[in-house]
Amino acid sequence: MAATELCSPKINTLDRFIPYRPNLDVNVAHARVMSPPSETKKHPSPWSNDRQRLYSDVLDGILDTPGQKRVLPITRCQSPETQNDLKLCSQRPRRRVITSPKNILDMPKIRNDFYTNVLDWGQSNRILVALEKTAYIWDVESKLCQKVDAVKDEEASSYFVSAVCWDNEGHLVATGDSQGHLKVFDPETEKTVRSVNGDGKTTVSVVKWRNNEIYTGDRKGGVFQYDVRCPTMAGRLVGHGQNVCGMALSDNSHDMVTGSNSGIVRLWDLRTHKCFRTIKAHSACAKALAWCPWRSSVIATGGGAQDGYIKLWQIHTGELISETSTKSQICGLLWSVEYQELASTHGSVTPENNDIVLWKMSRFQFEPLARLQQHLARPLHMALSPDGTTIASAGVDEIMCIWECFPGNREHHRKLSSSSLDLNQMIR
């Protein structure tokens, strides 16, 4: 298994609490300590420079007598190359990233459609993926696969499942299709819990679940809210004029962000269903959206093929915090809360550039950490495991890769902010 190691010491580091003295002669050292001072140093003042120099000479100074050993000899590195290695490895070591996938699964008939969202990883540790007209559930632990009966019209040749999503507990599945239908399915009972018919023309691009509410975005710019306890639509969020292909919900608030084909990003207050900020984020489609898990006022957005930028925004002011140009289509973004890193999937016409990049986000500045290369075509979809340790990516090359990017038992653990002003912390 290939790996990237950014700090490799060339020498063995020693225990800092146990002195290493290979030249120590205990008998000679004891005799020198117990011997009286020389004639010229009979009565030095306790705080005189002579006594300090005498102790320095005997204990660890440079002796003039050839062949005479010090009481506490110290081994020093004199090689410039060794000193450079020590200086390099004295810095904080950077973690090793496994750059080859743990598993590779076949995904036949997955659509080559940038405006779909057909991959999600639920809290029950099951992966949901849509392949043309059918959705499937793959259990990560048991390796069993289950079919989701999502087809509304088997006779329609243009029909396909265009968006999928788990509920917050990982028990129910929501699917949207090319005819605008929304369906809620229970994998345990294999029955449809709720079904809402669309207009038969508008494709659902994205589906997100929040408690008992389901939010969808379609290719006509519509953003709709549904309640699973009600058989009809509950509300509509008006604002976008073009295809809504990206959507992300904040974990710690009532905010939602949506992105459209025009590159415009809108921020919504779900309590009032009002848009409180509009950002012209990119010059191409803004599908890739991710809410920072440890800073709820920061979002990451990615632009399409004609843009290629990943940008960070402050939602309350609309200020651009930082950005980086990748010169490729940004298909997906997700954060690692444990490592405070950002993962991005990139689509390109050249096979060697269809990869996943991990970014070290120190002070929200982009620093490339590792590149994961396995897909030969655009990895359009990406999802994070419930424990935050593993990434699943599905590409146009009809494979799904499982990457162990963020191991939980790492040596250098980064803790979240413990500020007393953090309102998301528990009081007791």
Q: Each residue's pLDDT tens digit in the chain (428 positions)?
A: 444 444 444 445 545 556 666 667 777 777 777 776 655 444 545 555 666 666 666 655 444 455 555 555 555 444 554 455 444 444 556 678 999 999 999 999 999 999 999 999 999 999 999 999 999 999 999 999 999 875 555 556 789 999 999 999 999 999 999 999 999 999 999 899 888 888 888 999 999 999 889 999 999 999 999 988 887 767 888 888 889 999 999 987 799 999 999 999 999 999 888 999 999 999 999 999 999 999 999 999 999 999 999 999 999 999 999 999 999 999 999 999 999 999 999 998 887 789 999 999 989 999 999 999 999 999 999 999 999 999 999 999 999 999 999 998 544 444 444 444 444 444 43
Q: How would you class 245 by CB atoms within 10 Å of its CB: exposed for 0-12, middle for 13-18, buried for 19 or more?
A: buried
Domain membership of residue 4 (yes or no) is: no
pLDDT at 102: 94
| Torsion, Cα of 169, 170, 176, 182 (10° steps) | -50
Residue 249 belongs to some domain of the structure: yes
Please answer whether residues 280 and 318 qualify as being in contact, where contact means their C-beta atoms are separated by less than 8 angstroms: no
Task: Answer yes or no: are the C-beta atoms of 375 and 395 closer than 8 Å.
Answer: yes
CATH number at residue 225: 2.130.10.10
Instruction: Determine the Cα–Cα distance for residues 5 and 421; give it in Å rounded to an integer.
Output: 37
pTM given for the model:
0.74
Sign of CA dihedral 28, 34, 39, 42: positive
Number of domains in the chain: 1
pLDDT at residue 94 in the model: 67
Residue 71, pLDDT score: 58
The verdict on residue 229 lying in a domain is yes
Task: Note the pLDDT of residue 427.
Answer: 41
Sheet order of strands, 365-372 included: 329-336, 341-347, 356-362, 365-372
> Residue 12's pLDDT is what?
53
Residue 56 falls inside a structural domain: no
Spatial distance between the Cα atoms of 387 and 407, rounded to a whole number of angstroms: 10
248 within a domain of the structure (yes/no): yes
Question: Going along 252-411, which residue ranges are E strands?
Answer: 255-260, 264-269, 274-280, 288-291, 298-302, 309-314, 319-325, 329-336, 341-347, 356-362, 365-372, 381-384, 391-394, 399-403
* CB-based burial label for 377 (10 Å; 0-12, 13-18, 19+): middle
**Which amino acid is it at 224?**
F
CA dihedral 107, 304, 363, 393 (to 10 degrees): 0
Cβ pair 258, 223 in contact under 8 A: yes
Torsion, Cα of 301, 302, 304, 309 (10° steps): 120
Report if residue 285 sits inside a domain.
yes
Give the pLDDT confidence score for residue 410 in this predicted structure: 43
pLDDT score at 49: 65
What is the token pair recorded at 311? 């940008």
Please tell me the distance from the alpha carbon of residue 136 to that of residue 145, in angstroms, as a whole number. 7
In a domain, 70, yes or no: no
- pLDDT for position 413: 42
Q: Domain range holding 140?
A: 115-330
With respect to residue 413, please indicate whether it lies within any of the assigned structural domains.
no
As a dihedral over the C-alpha atoms of residue 7, residue 10, residue 16, residue 18, rounded to 10 degrees, the angle is 150
